[in-house]
Amino acid sequence: MFSLATLSKLIPFRDYVYAGVAIAAVIFYNVHVHNLEVHYAAKQVAAVKTAVTDASNALIASAAKEMNAQAARYAANLKQVNETYANQSHLDAVNHAADLQRLRQLASAGNGGESRALQGPAGPGSPTDPGRSSLIGLGYVSAELAGSLRDAREDLGKCYAERDSVTGK
């Protein structure tokens, strides 16, 4: 029969070995390229995540800075408005008192020193004597208007205080 040497010549072992080495080289190359692509993709994803995080942090910091600046501007504006309101209220009260005093002086000079309607704060009734001068009637109306204005200012101050307590300012 055939000997082993003859049999080895009939079966092309050397070709199978070359084919196996070629297939192994192709497989190694494909695996190596795949790993390179995976690592490159991971590197790119990490770079994108880092860029997004940095941009988000920068935007958040910028927004916080702008919010703080707006809050400071609002606080300064509110302080100025409150100071202006307080000054104006004080000036109005002083002017009101001076006007009432002048009206009382005019009324007392015109009626011999008698003016019940202008002696105190504005009352609910009107002067009882319909024959008095029109100056007393004007003084009574002025006192009523001044009292109403004072009440309106107090109500406005309460409204501001309530608004500030609700908004936390």
| pLDDT digits 0-9 by tens, 100-117 | 888 888 878 766 545 454
| pLDDT digits 0-9 by tens, 54-76 | 999 999 999 999 999 999 999 99
| pLDDT digits 0-9 by tens, 78-94 | 999 999 999 999 999 89
What single-letter amino acid sits at 57? N
Residue given tokens 């307590």 in the structure block: 165
Q: Is the pTM of this model over 0.85?
A: no
Which region holds residue 77: left if phi is over 0, alpha if psi is between -120 and 50, else beta? alpha
Say if residues 118 and 139 touch (Cβ distance below 8 Å).
yes
Burial state string for 20-32 with b = 16 or more CB within 10 A and e = fewer than 16: eeeeeeeeeeeee
pLDDT value of residue 132? 52
Counted domains in the chain: 1
Over range 127-149, report the average pLDDT. 66
Residue 141 has pLDDT above 50, yes or no: yes
pLDDT value of residue 118? 47
Q: Which domain holds residue 133?
A: 4-167
pLDDT value of residue 115? 47
